[in-house]
Copies of this chain bind each other. A is one copy, B any other.
Amino acid sequence: MVNIRDAVEGDISAIVRLLADDALGATREDPSDPPAQSYIDAFNALTAQGGNTVLVATDGDTIIGCLQLTFIPGLSHKGMLRAQIEAVRVADSYRGRKIGEALVHKALARARDAGCGMAQLTTDRTRADAHRFYERLGFTTSHVGMKLKF
C-alpha cells in the first residue's frame, strides 16, 4: 500500500527531482539541492493562498510521487467549486505500480469531501499514455487546453 500525505517544506527538493525526471520537465526545472529559492517561495505562496495543497506518495522516507490539488471557487455551474490537478509525477522506478492512480484517487476524494462538483486537468497533447490513464480514471477529453507563455 502506498502512503499519501500533504507535502511539507522539507519535501521540496524531492518533489523538484520528480518534476525534473520527465521528458518535458528535464529542460525546465532546476533539481539542485538545497532547492532554488524560487521553489521555496512558490511552496510558501501556495500554502498561504487558500485551496492549494501538494500531495506526495511515499515509500518509507522516500517520496515516489506527487501532484498539486487546487480548489477554484467560481460562479458558473450555479457557483460550483472545482478541483484542478496539476504536476502529477511518479518516480521512474515506481511506474506501473498504480502510484499515480492512488494519488489521483486521493485528490478526487479530497475534492468530493470539499464539495467540488468537478475535477479538471490538462495534459500535453504529446502525452498519449497520460490521456489513457486519466480516461481509465473516469475523465473525459471534452476540452482543449490552451496556453500562452509570457
Taken together as a complex, chains A and B put the C-alpha atoms of A146 and B145 apart, in Å, by 9
Residue contact B45 to A73, C-beta cutoff 8 Å: yes
> Does A58 lie at the interface of the complex (its beta carbon under 8 Å from any beta carbon of B)?
no
Residue contact B139 to A78, C-beta cutoff 8 Å: no
Residue contact A144 to B147, C-beta cutoff 8 Å: no
Query: Digit string of A81-105 for contact with B (CB within 8 Å is 1, else 0)?
Result: 1001011000000000000000000
Residue contact B73 to A38, C-beta cutoff 8 Å: no
Nearest-neighbour CB distance to chain B for A50, whole angstroms, equals 4
Residue contact A75 to B142, C-beta cutoff 8 Å: no
Taken together as a complex, chains A and B put the C-alpha atoms of A124 and B142 apart, in Å, by 6
Number of A residues with CB within 8 Å of any CB on chain B: 69
Would you list which residues of chain A between 103 and 148 have a CB under 8 Å from chain B? Answer: 108, 111-112, 116-125, 131, 134-135, 137-148
> Does A2 lie at the interface of the complex (its beta carbon under 8 Å from any beta carbon of B)?
no
Residue contact A120 to B146, C-beta cutoff 8 Å: yes
14 residue pairs of the A-B complex, CB under 8 angstroms, read: A12-B75, A19-B75, A28-B76, A30-B78, A39-B79, A42-B73, A42-B79, A42-B80, A46-B72, A46-B75, A76-B87, A112-B150, A120-B145, A122-B144
